[in-house]
Amino acid sequence: MNVRPATLEDWNDLAALIEEFNCEKRARFDEPDFTRMHLEACHLAIAGEYGGVYVAEEDGRLIGYCAWLSLPTMPVGVVDGLGTYVVPEKRRTRVAEALNLAAIEFHRQRGARRVYGVVHNANTASMQRMRAYGAEPVGTLFRWDLDREPKHGG
């Protein structure tokens, strides 16, 4: 397996992985469809000077990616852990770890101090991996369904 920065030559295969990742998150965790935002942010990072998108390749095929981005709209020193995805048949083989470590080193060299990301609490494998890296939960993510009347009281 080879982990390397993504390039525009990877775009079609990478875009397919981004779509798989978001489809899986919607199905498993009832998350909204962030596919378009992820596609646009990753393309911007790869096409420009921002970087932070890494791919894992095996036998000429992309088997995973990590998108940890520090775009100009981000606070200085902060990285958005947009997502890490590994195709199902390659999970639990340390591909995600290799991708994340490459992204960590990339951002460290550029002066980043923190990565913020969202992991659904039902995604136990990702939660365990993040904790093993020394990441700690900060706050709680809430979701309001605006098609229902808000509850009053408290």
What are the residue ranges spanned by the domains of the chain?
2-132
What is 2-132's CATH number? 3.40.630.30
Helix, strand or coil for residue 54? strand
Q: CA–CA distance from 136 to each of 58, 127, 140 (Å)?
A: 31, 10, 12
Q: Which of 148, 133, 140 is nearest to 98 (CA)?
A: 133
- pLDDT at residue 34, rounded to an integer: 93
Enter the pTM of the model: 0.86
pLDDT digits (tens, 9 = 90+) for 51-77: 899 999 999 999 999 999 998 888 889
- Joined together, the tokens standing for residue 5 give 């920065």
- Joined together, the tokens standing for residue 77 give 């020193």
